[in-house]
């Protein structure tokens, strides 16, 4: 398999499928059909949510400041003013914004880190659901849905859904995300931006590779999948990185 073939499999086809389906419920890429991004997020019942709320807040001061600042980003942009307003809300001195020595781009980087961590958790949950044993003879609707997902969902769909899930995390900041991209593109910030993008792409590719290998029917097939995964390690990541960047820009258009 050549790099071009990999791009066609993981790239153009996936991008085309996204264009036909739409990225989020509020985005259209030359098509009318909408998708529900919430279908890719784990549903947490009220009891689990209450337990989580009762747990002590172990976040660092920087994370707390960043979380509050994000609530002002849509009004003030990725700016020092958003950080200062957050500091005021938390009864911190204006000097506390120096916890973000790089300024507003530090807030963007913190947000990206949190999104990548959330994506990793959500995709792990998806894989666990796909691998979980299911009683195919059961009449329950939940079991029937799980069987359908496990048997019918192909690898291309898994990649598309993973990218859609990651983009859905940006949706609240869509109106100001072009500013975030501009800040990350400054020469002094490119290194961190590339590192975070590499982490994102690695998670996307690893997600699909894991599912692919779990579907191997025998040891020989499993070894072949592992060999292909190693052989095309860089090529697949380069292709998916290009696709994600293209889709992100189309999502902003």
Do the Cβ atoms of 208 and 155 come closer than 8 Å?
A: yes
Whole-angstrom distance, CA of residue 213 vs CA of residue 220: 11
Whole-angstrom distance, CA of residue 240 vs CA of residue 11: 6
9's CB contacts (< 8 A; 6+ apart) are: 1, 156
C-alpha dihedral over 98, 100, 104, 105, to 10 degrees? 150
pLDDT tens digits along 57-90: 657 899 999 999 999 999 999 999 999 999 999 9
- The confidence score (pLDDT) of residue 215 equals 81
For the full predicted model, state whether its pTM sits above 0.85: no
Check: CATH 1.10.357 for 3-27+58-252? Answer: yes
Write down the domain spans for the chain.
3-27+58-252
Among 20-24, 42-46, 68-72, 211-215, the range scoring the smallest mean pLDDT is: 42-46
Do the Cβ atoms of 214 and 150 come closer than 8 Å?
A: no
Burial of 168 (0-12, 13-18, 19+ CB in 10 A): buried
């Amino acid at each position: 398999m050549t790099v071009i073939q990999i791009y066609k499999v993981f790239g153009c086809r996936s991008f085309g499928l996204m264009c036909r389906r739409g990225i989020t419920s509020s985005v259209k890429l030359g098509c009318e059909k909408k998708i529900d991004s919430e279908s890719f997020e784990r549903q947490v019942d009220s009891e689990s949510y209450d337990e989580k709320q009762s747990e002590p807040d172990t976040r660092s001061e920087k994370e707390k400041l960043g979380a509050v600042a994000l609530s002002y980003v849509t009004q003030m942009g990725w700016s020092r003013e958003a950080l200062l307003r957050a500091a005021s809300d938390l009864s911190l001195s204006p000097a506390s914004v120096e916890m973000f020595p790089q300024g507003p781009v530090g807030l963007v980087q913190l947000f990206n880190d949190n999104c990548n961590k959330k994506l990793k958790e959500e995709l792990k949950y998806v894989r666990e659901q796909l691998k979980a044993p299911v009683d195919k003879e059961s009449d329950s609707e939940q079991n029937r849905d799980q069987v359908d997902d496990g048997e019918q969902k192909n690898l291309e769909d898994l990649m598309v859904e993973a990218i859609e899930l990651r983009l859905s995390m940006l949706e609240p900041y869509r109106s100001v995300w072009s500013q975030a991209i501009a800040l990350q593109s400054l020469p002094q910030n490119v290194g961190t931006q590339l590192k975070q993008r590499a982490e994102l792409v690695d998670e996307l590719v690893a997600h699909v590779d894991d599912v692919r290998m779990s579907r191997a029917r025998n040891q020989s097939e499993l070894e072949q999948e592992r060999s292909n995964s190693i052989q095309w390690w860089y090529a697949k990541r380069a292709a998916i990185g290009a696709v994600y960047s293209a889709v992100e820009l189309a999502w902003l258009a």
